Structure 1
Amino acid sequence: MLQGKTIVLGVTGGIACYKAAALCSKLAQAGADVRVIMTESAAKFVAPLTFQTLSRHDVAIDTFDERDASVVSHIHLADSADLVVVAPATANMIAKMAHGIADDMLSTTLLATEAPVLVAPAMNVHMYAHPAVTDNMRVLGERGVHFIEPGEGQLACGYVGKGRLAEPEEIMVAINRLLNPALPLAGKRVLVTAGGTMERIDPVRYITNDSSGKMGYAIAEAAKRLGAQVTLVTGKASVAVPAGIEVVPVDSTMDMLEAVLDRFDDCDIVIKAAAVADYRAARPSDKKIKKKDERMTLELIKNPDILQTLGERKTKQFIVGFAAETDNGELHAMDKIRRKKSDLLVLNDVTVPGAGFGTDTNIVTVFDESGLVVALPQLSKREVAERLLVLIAERLKARGGSDA
């Protein structure tokens, strides 16, 4: 399956290096042209001769060890790669990648490559959970670096927990998925709403919510990766605008409704992940409201329900809603999906640690009109997005595609 693909395998210093040798062997057996770069620390755990024998190529360690005068080694490796895999990836190498440090052969090559990068972390459980490490991985994830999560169990240091390198078989699955991606949404038009809406009280004040936009943006990016033509209608958000996606910025709930309805007829799938304001000021002021009395009464009027409006107007569209709840989640979810005529509804309890607004992870439960479809454990929002979209693609295929 990897015939004709060049894979640069970066091996960093950790006891899990021995698994990298097994991975190198599997890659070569699958037909890949494997080029191994080891850090000096990695060479203290496993001899470079091991990887040379398995890959049938010299192993690069020293940036200045230029063996071919016709090329600059790290640039040549960076340019020739179809994929760069770092396994095991230490906390140190992850930090270098996040901060653009290039002080050895591997980090220099990583900075120079434009190929996709897959990182397989391996370290002590407390190191993996350290805020510096989690923040570095978040930064890399936002830049498009792919991660395969470490496994849980007995670690070499004696601790039990999350931090052991994923098994070579798991890494091979991730590699195959990246190099031979299925495109179940090819030809589909997907509209995603994201972020929080703002309802003006006056020119300097507004009503809003805690939405960061991370879940909706992750869905938009995942839909593009799966082959869809994506439009992102977004309120305020704290994450970077995804590349290669049509972005329509809006402020208020009414603005979002108008933007969605303008594009609704041409859509195959609408995923409403935005956190919209349910109410708006009845009489917003065009001038700053001055502080006068001890109390101020603000009259609010109800906004249109975007999800319900779409459900009532849908013809061919597959509609997915989101519900952020704090209690009786399943009851509210089933009420919403039936009342708003959605095809799926994604529920998350925002009171649960690791779920909800502002986090990089989410814990969701997906319902259809018959009840529970799937309950996902805590995953990165990127992984939640991919699983949700695969489920949507399966549902569309089962009912005969977007023209059903």
Structure 2
Amino acid sequence: MDFTQLRGKRLLLGVTGSISAYKSALLVRLLVKAGAEVQVIMTQAAQTFITPLTLATLSKRPVLSTFVSGNDGSWNNHVELGLWADALIVAPASAHTLARCAQGLCDDLLSAVYLSARCPVFFAPAMDLDMYQHPATVANIHRLISYGNHIIRAEHGELASGLVGEGRLAEPETICQTLNAFFAQQQPTGPLASRQVLITAGPTQEPIDPVRYVSNHSTGKMGYAIAGAFVRAGASVTLISGPTALDLPDSRIERINVRTAREMLDASLDAFPRADVTVLSAAVADYTPAHPADQKLKKKESVFALDMARTVDIAATLGAQKRPDQWLMGFALETNNELENALKKLKTKNLDWIVLNSLRDAGAGFGHDTNKITVIDKDEQTHEFALKSKDDVAQDLVNLVAAKLQEQQPSFLIQ
């Protein structure tokens, strides 16, 4: 069977206490054969029906079942697991597990992952006929559906009890077909569908010693908003992020965490050749301590001076490498001579567009949830926008990008 939409997908498979757990071995095998990455999470009850060793061997990953593994305190982070996955599939889903998830009870790793997951969740129930038809189970299934979860209905057939009726776990091939069809429907649509977008966001931190650093006031809010807007427009987004407390606006965004200007440069150079659209909205340090100490500096003199070295200009570097099918747009945050400075940056760094905002505009710049921008292109055509939320500003930028791509069908790069 053709399960091509599963290739490259990251799938969490929850296996619970049901005699049908033996089918999970075949399900894992089919998913792996289709090219998916499969991480199995087993409840304690599931391990009485099938061993973790079997599923670990087939998935090529250690099976997880508890919050802490081994004696060294290693933590199976349920939040990271929920963010990692493209989908969570609970198969078989016992009546007990359906009830716990429907009620939000969180007493094991699987239920914690379920409550943390931002990805689509599929439940494939498996139990005896009367259990499946019981009003409590029916109500729990309806509640799970109301939460936005997907139910892969149990099939009709002979059950372990000898009864005949609904309750059999859907066949592994059926589960794979359901997942394949779901992901086929999720193919990107929108004005930037099939476009690869690279975005940088947030500040950089340049170390003085192991406990101190030089940085700026950037929170990353603008860059993260831009990443979310591009994803909603159908693009595949990679976000290179400096240190920030922000959560990803969409689980489909691939985030690469960096700290220093050098790390951001290296990550940008690596990803740039593959990008159709690159948004470098990060506030990258212009200077970095020339000789960071490897031990904490002690307080001695009344005046303390640092030798600072220039960092490599990421926008200028990428501008020099820009192919004809790529466009380069920069952000200019200014405090004086705003238009003059922005136009200079537009020309000297080989940009195609520059987004100008001024710290003299109330509600614009670092830390705010709003921004006020003026966008100038290489022909010095100007687009002015009123003060609005950063989400709306991001959408304005996406609209400009989409319009330009529709006109000329090139790629696009933003700083």
TM-score, normalisation: structure 2: 0.54
1:401: which partner in 2? 410
Q: Aligned partners of 2:362, 2:148: CA distance in 1, in Å?
A: 36
Alignment of 1:41-80 (within 5 A): 79=146
Q: Does 1:362 align with 2:340?
A: no
Corresponding residue to 2:361 among 336, 344, 352? 352
2:295: which partner in 1? 287
Q: CA deviation at 1:246?
A: 0.8
Q: Aligned partners of 1:348, 1:399: CA distance in 2, in Å?
A: 27
Other structure's SS at 1:320 match: strand
Q: CA deviation at 1:342?
A: 1.1
Alignment of 1:219-298 (within 5 A): 219-242=226-249, 243-298=251-306
| Cα 1:289–1:76 shift into 2, 3 Å | closer
1:313: which partner in 2? 321
Q: CA deviation at 1:238?
A: 3.0
2:308: which partner in 1? 300
Corresponding residue to 1:375 among 364, 376, 384? 384
| Cα 1:369–1:293 shift into 2, 3 Å | same
Q: Which runs of 5+ in 2 are unaligned?
A: 1-135, 151-187
Q: Aligned partners of 1:270, 1:189: CA distance in 2, in Å?
A: 8
Alignment-mate amino acid for residue 283 of structure 1:
H
Alignment-mate amino acid for residue 248 of structure 2:
V
Q: Aligned partners of 2:306, 2:410: CA distance in 1, in Å?
A: 47
Q: CA deviation at 1:351?
A: 2.8
Alignment of 1:1-400 (within 5 A): 79=146, 112=147, 183-242=190-249, 243-315=251-323, 316-400=325-409
Q: Aligned partners of 1:267, 1:367: CA distance in 2, in Å?
A: 22
Note if contact 2:206-2:285 (Cα within 8 Å) is conserved in structure 1.
yes
- Identity among equivalent positions (%) equals 43
Alignment-mate amino acid for residue 210 of structure 2:
P
Q: Aligned partners of 1:281, 1:237: CA distance in 2, in Å?
A: 21
Q: Which runs of 5+ in 1 are unaligned?
A: 1-68, 80-111, 116-180
Other structure's SS at 1:336 match: helix
Q: Aligned partners of 1:246, 1:70: CA distance in 2, in Å?
A: 37
Note if contact 2:326-2:410 (Cα within 8 Å) is conserved in structure 1.
no
Q: Aligned partners of 1:239, 1:266: CA distance in 2, in Å?
A: 26
Note if contact 1:365-1:372 (Cα within 8 Å) is conserved in structure 2.
no
| Cα 1:287–1:343 shift into 2, 3 Å | same
| Cα 1:378–1:285 shift into 2, 3 Å | same
Alignment-mate amino acid for residue 250 of structure 1:
V
Q: Aligned partners of 2:193, 2:255: CA distance in 1, in Å?
A: 19
Alignment-mate amino acid for residue 380 of structure 2:
G
Alignment-mate amino acid for residue 370 of structure 2:
T
Q: Aligned partners of 2:244, 2:348: CA distance in 1, in Å?
A: 28
- Which string of whole-angstrom CA distances, capped at 9 and with x for unpartnered residues, describes residues 143-178 of structure 1? xxxxxxxxxxxxxxxxxxxxxxxxxxxxxxxxxxxx
Q: Aligned partners of 1:241, 1:208: CA distance in 2, in Å?
A: 22
Note if contact 1:203-1:286 (Cα within 8 Å) is conserved in structure 2.
yes
Deviates more, 1:189-198 or 1:345-354: 345-354
Other structure's SS at 2:288 match: strand
